[in-house]
Amino acid sequence: MTSSVSVCPVTIRIQEDDFDIAREIAVLTKSRTDIGAVVSFSGICRADDDSAKVAALTLEHYPGMAEEEIRRHTDEAVSRWPLNGVTVIHRVGRFMPGQNIVLVLTASQHRQAAFHAAEFLMDYLKTSAPFWKKEESDAGTNWVEAHARDDKAAARWTRS
């Protein structure tokens, strides 16, 4: 799904296939002279959880709803900061430690807006996006619960 909010192109993809970070940055910035900063965040499946060794992680989503919810938050990011482009790619399926899960790219004329927008979007994805995670570990298989630390990070973006 690709569209524009104002003059800011926004790309949102939910997919099983891996992504290439350098390629995605090249696509975002191709022929653009108005971009002075690109901030990237890539989330990777890790092997160590707080309490157990993770063997695999399975991510599920609610098709259609997930894209719409991400779109709402990318629109909000574009309204809050002077962005020149946004890409959000979230993978679903079963992942082994070391594999890519999520990519957020934000582009702006200046770094501060790109950093803030990327952080805002990741805090949202971590706390509110309609994705469900199941961990396989030495301790067994369980659905991952939300963490208070993530909710606290997301709360700082709430407008009064």
Q: Mind listing the pLDDT tens digit for each residue in 51-99?
A: 678 899 999 998 999 999 999 999 999 999 999 999 999 999 999 999 9
Helices assigned H by DSSP within 1-158 = 21-29, 65-80, 111-127, 148-155
Domains and CATH numbers, the chain: 2-155 (3.90.1170.40)
Tens-digit pLDDT profile for residues 112-157: 999 999 999 999 988 888 899 999 988 889 888 776 666 566 667 6
Gap between the Cα atoms of 69 and 114, Å rounded: 20
Task: Say what the pLDDT of residue 72 is.
Answer: 94
Query: Exposed, middle or buried, 46 (CB in 10 Å: 0-12/13-18/19+)?
Result: exposed
